Amino acid sequence: MKKTWITLGLSAALLAGCGGGEEKTTDTAKENEPAKETAAFPVTVTGADNQKVEIEAAPKRIVTLAPSNTEIVYELGLGEEVVGVSDNDTYPEDVKNKEKVGGMEFNVEKIISLKPDLVLAHDSAGAAAETGIQQLRDAGIDVLVINNAASIDEMYQSFELIGEATGTTAEAETEVKELKAGFADLEEKASSIKEENEKSVFFEVDPTLYTAGNGTFLNEIFDMLHINNTMADQEGWPQVTEEAVIEKNPDVILLNYGGYVENAVNGVLKREGWSNVNAVKNKEVFEVNADLTSRTGPRLVEGAEAIAEAVYPDVFAQ
C-alpha cells in the first residue's frame, strides 16, 4: 500500500491536498495544444498488465487515473483531450477544470458517462482496480495500464507507451530526450562532490517512517547526486523503526510530506531520542515537494533538483 502512495505522490489522503508548497513551473504552453497524429492508426499496444489494446484512431477523449499519467499526457500536448482525472490530480492548473473520477477505487459509472475513447490506468492500483478496469473494457472502452515505474528507465517507457497510444510518439521522444539531458546536467554537477564530502540522507515518506530503499527511482536519483541513502540496504519502500534511523545517523533528513503536516520540520527536530542524530543536531532537516519527488513524470528532474539543492546547496543552489 505504501508503495502505491509513493507512486501517486503520497497517500490518497495527502494527495487530496497535494500541490501545497512552492513549486517550480514548467512550460505550460503546450498543455492545451490539440493532439498531433504523428503515428498511423490503428495501433496495438501492450499495457503493464500484458493486455494488448488496439486503438483505432487518435484518442479525442482521455481519462487518466493517476497524476503521473496526467502530467505526461499534458506534457505531450493533449490537455484538450483530457475529460477526466483522478481525485489526486493537482497539476497542471487546468486539471481543476476536469471531471474527477475517484481515487484508487475509481467511479466506473462516472468514467463511462464521460464517453472516453481511452482510459490510462496505473499499475500501482493493483487488485483494487482490476474489477473496475474489466468493467470499463466490457463497456467497450480501451483501457491501457501504465507501469508503476520503479526506475527512471521505466518512466521513459511510460512516456513512450502513452505517446504510441495517443499518436504523439515524436513528442514523447522529445520529452524523454529533455529529461535525460536534465538528469545528465545534475549528474555532471554532482561529479564535483568529493567522496569525503558526500552526505548521507534519510528520506522520510511520511511520519510513520516509510522510506525509499534500493530498487526505487529515488535511490537511483540519490546515486546520481552522490547522496548516500541510509536505507539502501533495504528493498523498495520499507517502513523502518526510529532505532534504525538513529543508528544510521543521517547527515540530512528530507521530509516528503511537509505540505500536509503542520510544523513537520519542528516535529522531527523535537523527536525524543533523536537529538544526537547529525541531521537533527545540525538542523539539516528539510521539506521537499512531494508532487515533484514522488511522481514519475515530466517534473521528476525538478524533484531531483530540489533534493540536490537541499542536500548540497553550495553545489546546486546557484
CATH assignment at residue 211: 3.40.50.1980
The predicted structure's pLDDT at residue 187: 98
Amino acid at 100: K
Nearest CA to 148 out of 177, 169, 125 is that of: 125
Residues 171 and 202 in one domain: no
Residues 174 and 235 in one domain: no
CA distance 114 to 131: 19
Q: Where does residue 50 fall: left (phi above 0), alpha (psi -120 to 50 degrees), or beta otherwise?
A: left
User: How far, in Å, CA of 133 to CA of 50, rounded?
Assistant: 13
User: How far is the C-alpha of 207 from the C-alpha of 232, rounded, in Å?
Assistant: 19
Percent of the chain with pLDDT strictly greater than 90? 82
In a domain, 144, yes or no: yes
pLDDT at 248 (0 to 100): 98
- Work out the pLDDT band at 250, boundaries 50, 70, 90: very high
Kindly state the DSSP code that residue 83 receives in the 8-state scheme: E
Residue 15 lies in a domain: no
pLDDT score of 313 more than 60: yes
Q: CA of 195: how far to CAs of 192, 198, 247, 307, in Å?
A: 9, 5, 21, 18
Q: Which tens digits make up the pLDDT trace of 175-233? A: 999 999 999 999 999 999 999 999 999 999 999 999 999 999 999 999 999 999 999 99
- Residues 215, 234: Cα–Cα separation, whole Å: 9
**Structural domain total, the chain:** 2
With 0.95 as the threshold, say if the pTM is over it.
no
Examine residue 20 and state whether it is found in any structural domain, yes or no.
no
pLDDT at 276 over 80: yes
Compute the radius of gyration of the chain from its Cα atoms: 20
Whether 21 shows a pLDDT value over 50: the answer reads: no
Task: Report the mean per-residue pLDDT for the chain.
Answer: 89
Task: Report how far apart, in Å, the C-alpha atoms of 4 and of each of 10, 105, 236 are.
Answer: 8, 13, 11
Distance in angstroms (rounded) separating the CA atoms of residues 26 and 92: 9
* pLDDT value, residue 34: 44
Last residue of a domain, one of 179, 203, 219: 179
Is residue 79 domain-shared with residue 158, that is, in the same domain? yes
Mean pLDDT in residue range 120-140: 89
3-class secondary structure, 214: strand
User: What pLDDT digit, counting tens, does each position of 48-105 carry?
Assistant: 999 999 999 999 999 999 999 999 999 999 999 999 999 999 999 999 999 999 988 8
Q: What is the pLDDT of residue 39?
A: 59
At 104 the pLDDT is: 82
Q: Compute the average pLDDT of residues 119-138.
A: 88
pLDDT at 4 over 90: no
Parent domain of 36: 31-179
DSSP per residue, 29-42: TTTTPPP---S-SS
Query: Are residues 218 and 170 part of one domain?
Result: no
Can you give the pLDDT at residue 304?
A: 98
% of the chain surpassing 70 pLDDT: 86
**Pick from 313, 280, 287, 151: nearest CA to 206:** 287
Q: Does the pLDDT at position 162 exceed 70?
A: yes
pLDDT at 129: 86
> What pLDDT does residue 152 have?
98
* Sheet (strand 118-122) strand order: 99-100, 82-85, 62-64, 118-122, 143-146
CB 102 within 8 Å of CB 87: yes
The predicted-structure confidence for 222-249, as pLDDT tens digits, reads as follows: 999 999 999 999 999 999 999 999 999 9
Q: Is 202 among the domain residues?
A: yes
Q: Domain end: 123, 145, 179, which one?
A: 179
Q: Can you state the percent helix, strand and coil of the chain, rounding each to 5? A: 40, 15, 40
- What Å distances lie between residue 37 and 86, 269, 303, CA to CA? 26, 53, 31
Both 64 and 157 in a single domain?
A: yes
Based on the fold, state whether residues 211 and 76 are members of the same structural domain.
no
Reported as a pLDDT band with limits 50, 70 and 90, residue 261 is confident
